[in-house]
Chain A
Amino acid sequence: MPYVECCVCEKPIEGQALEMGGRPYCPDCYARVNRNRRSLWWASLLGIGLLVALVALLSFLFGQIRPHLEGPALTLTGVVLALLPALFWLAFFYLQDVREPEPKWLVLGVFLLGALLARAVGLPLIEEVFGAPAWFSAGPVYHLLGAIFVTGFINQFLIYAGVRYTVYNSAEFDERVDGILYGTAAALGYATMGNLEYVVRSGGLDLSVGIIRIAVSALAMASFGGLLGYFLGRCKFEDEPAWWMSTGLALAALLNGLFVFFWEEVTTTRVGLVGGGFNPWYGLLQGAVVAGLTFALLYYLIYRLSRRAPQAGGL
C-alpha cells in the first residue's frame, strides 16, 4: 500500500486517502477544509437585512425631521454612519462565530488592511493617476469600460492582495470558506475607507441621501470581496488551473464595474442642465439585491462542495 501524507497536517494517512483537487487529505483535514461556517452566513444575512432596514428607516426619518447639523457634528455623524455597515457585519460575525471561532484579531486585521490599501493605493490610483470618474462622462461605453478596467480591477486586485499576501499563507486559513470570510472583511474595510473619505471630503453629507450611498457601497463591495474570496479558498486547497484566480479577479472586477455603472444609471432619474433627478432608493434596492444574490450564490457553492465531502461537518 503506498505511503501517503496529508497535505495539510503532514501525518501519514491510514487506509484510503481522500483526494480533493489532486491533493491527498486525511479525514479530519478533509472535513475541516470542506466545513461550512454557519456564522459567516448568519452574519451576512443579518448584516444585509438589518442594514437595509435600518438605513431605509434612518433615511426616511432624516428626510422627515431634517436635523440641522453643521460643522464637526455633521462630520462626526457622517463618520459614524460610514462605520455602521462594517460594525454591523463584524458584530454579527463575532456573536455567531462560537464553534471553532476564527481569530477575531485576524479578521479585524484584514479589515484594517483593506482600509489602508484603499487609502494608500486604491483611491489615489483611481482618482489622481487615472483621473476617474471625470472622463467617464465622455460616453456610456467609456463609462462602462472605465468602471470595469479602472475602478473594478483596482478595487478587486487590492482586496485580493490584502488577503493573498497575508492571511492566505497562515495556518488559520484552514477552511475553504475562510476565503469568503477574509475577502468580505478586506472588502468591507476597503468600502469603509471609501465612505469615510467621501464624508470627510464633503465636510459632512446630506444625511438622508448619504446614508444610502454608504450602505450601498458597503453591501456591494462586501459581496464582490466574498466572491473573490471563494476563488481564493478553492485556490488554496485544490490544484485549480493557473488561470482560475485570474478568472475570479476578472469576474469580481466585472461585477464591480457593472455595479458602478448601473448605480448611476438607476439613481439618475432625469438629466438636465439645471440638475439631474436623483433617487437613491433605487440604488439601495440595487445594493440589497446584488449583495443578497451574491451571498446566496456563494452559500450554494459552498453548500454543494461540503455536501460532496462525506466527512464534512455539514451545515
Chain B
Amino acid sequence: MSEPSQMQEKPTVSAAQVRSRARRRDRWVSWFVLGLFLLALVVGAVLKTLAESRSVEYRGDGFRLNYPAGWVRRTSLQPPYLFQVEDLGAAPTRTTVTVQRRPLPQHDPLGVVWRDLSIERKSDGQHWAGYRELSLESNAQLDGRTVLHTTFAYVEMEPDPFQLSLPVVMHGEDYLFVGRAGVYILTLTAAEENYDRDRGLFLALARSFREE
C-alpha cells in the first residue's frame, strides 16, 4: 500500500474519461448516421415503387391503354404504327413500346402477321442488325386473351445520337392478338441490361390494352 504522500493526485478530468465519453458519443453518432441512411434508402425504395406504378391513360385510334408516367409519346407516326412511347432516361439507350395494327388475314391471322413481321425485321439490317428470334409461344394467355408471344434480340448500332457509343445489344418481345379492327402487335425493345426491369412495365401496359 502506498504512502499517502506518494499517492498521485486523483485526476479531476483525465484523458481516459474524455476519450471514453467521446467513444460513447461516437457510437451514438454512428448509429444516428446509419439510421438516417437506412431511412433515406427506405424513402428511396418507396419513391421508386410509386414512380414505377404511375401511369398515364392514352385513348385514340380505337383503343385505350395506360403507359408509364414520364415516358414520352411520339405523335407523328406512320401506319401501321398507331402508338409509341419511349423512356428517354434509360441508359445506354431508350426503351420503346409500340402498338401496330395490321389487316386481318383470313387464315391463321397471328401466324401470317408474325411471319411478315419477322421477314421485315430480318431484311431491315439498318434498324434490326443481327435480329434473332429467341422464343415463340403461339397460344399464350394475356389477361384472358389468347396471344402469340415472341421474344427476340438484335443490335442497336446508334444507341445515342449525342455521344459516340458502342453498339448496344437489345432485347425485345411482341404480343400479337386479334382485335375487331385487325391484328394488334405490341412490341417492347430495351437494352439488355434494362430488359428485365422494363418487361414488367410492358406487361402492365399490355394488360391495360382495351379495344374501343
Q: A142-B50, A153-B41, A246-B33 are in contact. Are A134 and B89 (CB under 8 A)?
A: yes
Are A17 and B44 in contact (CB-based, < 8 A)? no
Nearest neighbor of A128 in chain B, beta-carbon distance:
B193
Nearest-neighbour CB distance to chain B for A243, whole angstroms, equals 6
A6 and B15 in contact (CB under 8 A), knowing A149-B44, A249-B33, A273-B75? yes
Residues of A117-143 contacting chain B, CB below 8 A: 130-139, 142
Q: Does any Cβ of B come within 8 Å of A265's Cβ?
A: no
Partner of B11, one of A5, A154, A157, A160: A5
Please tell me which one of the listed residues B16, B35, B70, B92 contacts residue A138 in the complex, with CB atoms under 8 A apart: B70
Q: With A202-B92, A202-B166 known to touch, is A7 a contact of B11 (CB < 8 Å)?
A: no
Contact A135/B52 with A4-B12, A149-B47 known, Cβ cut-off 8 Å: yes
Q: Does B158 contact A (CB under 8 A)?
A: no
A131 with B197: CB separation less than 8 A: yes
Task: Indicate whether A205 reaches chain B with its CB closer than 8 angstroms.
Answer: yes
Q: How many A-B residue pairs have CB under 8 A?
A: 151
* Contact, CB under 8 Å: B32 / A245: yes
Does A201 have its Cβ within 8 Å of any Cβ on chain B? yes
Report the count of interface residues on A (CB-CB < 8 A): 55
A206–B163 CA distance with the chains assembled, in angstroms: 5
Whether the pair B92, A24 counts as a contact (CB closer than 8 A) is no
Q: A74–B18 Cα gap in the complex (Å)? A: 56
Chain B residues whose CB sits within 8 angstroms of the CB of A202 once the complex forms: 92, 160, 163-166
B22 touches A157 (CB 8 A): no
Residues from chain B with Cβ under 8 Å of A8 in the complex = 15
Name the distance in Å between B176's Cβ and chain A's nearest Cβ: 26
Partner of A4, one of B11, B54, B160: B11
Interface size of B by Cβ–Cβ distance < 8 Å?
Answer: 55
A114 at the interface (CB under 8 A from B): no
Which of B12, B44, B164 gathers most chain A CB within 10 Å? Answer: B44
Partner of A153, one of B15, B40, B75: B40
Known: A24-B13, A146-B51, A150-B47. A246 touches B164 (CB 8 A): no
Give A198-251 interface residues, CB cut-off 8 Å to B: 201-206, 209-210, 235, 239, 242-246, 249-250
> Shortest Cβ distance from B13 into chain A, in angstroms?
5
Complex interface: chain A residues within 8 A of B69 (CB): 138-139
Contact present for B71 and A137 (CB under 8 Å):
yes
- 1/0 contact string of B23-38 vs chain A (CB within 8 Å): 0011011101101110
Q: Which residues of A contact B48 (CB under 8 A)?
A: 130-132, 135, 146, 150
Residue of B nearest to A158 (CB): B37
**Bound Cα distance from A204 to B165, whole angstroms:** 7
Query: B57-105: which residues lie under 8 A (CB-CB) from chain A?
Result: 68-72, 74-75, 87-92
Known: A7-B22, A138-B54, A153-B36. 17 other contacts (CB 8 A): A4-B12, A5-B16, A6-B15, A10-B16, A24-B13, A130-B48, A134-B194, A137-B71, A142-B47, A146-B44, A149-B41, A149-B43, A157-B33, A235-B26, A239-B25, A245-B33, A275-B161
Residues of A whose CB lies within 8 Å of any CB of B are 2-10, 17, 23-24, 74, 130-139, 142, 145-146, 149-150, 153-154, 157, 160, 164, 201-206, 209-210, 235, 239, 242-246, 249-250, 253, 273, 275-276, 278
Can you list 9 A-B pairs with a CB-CB distance of less than 8 A? A2-B13, A5-B11, A5-B13, A131-B197, A135-B52, A136-B70, A138-B70, A242-B32, A246-B36
Nearest first, the 4 closest Cβ-Cβ pairs linking A and B are: A2-B12, A137-B70, A138-B51, A153-B40
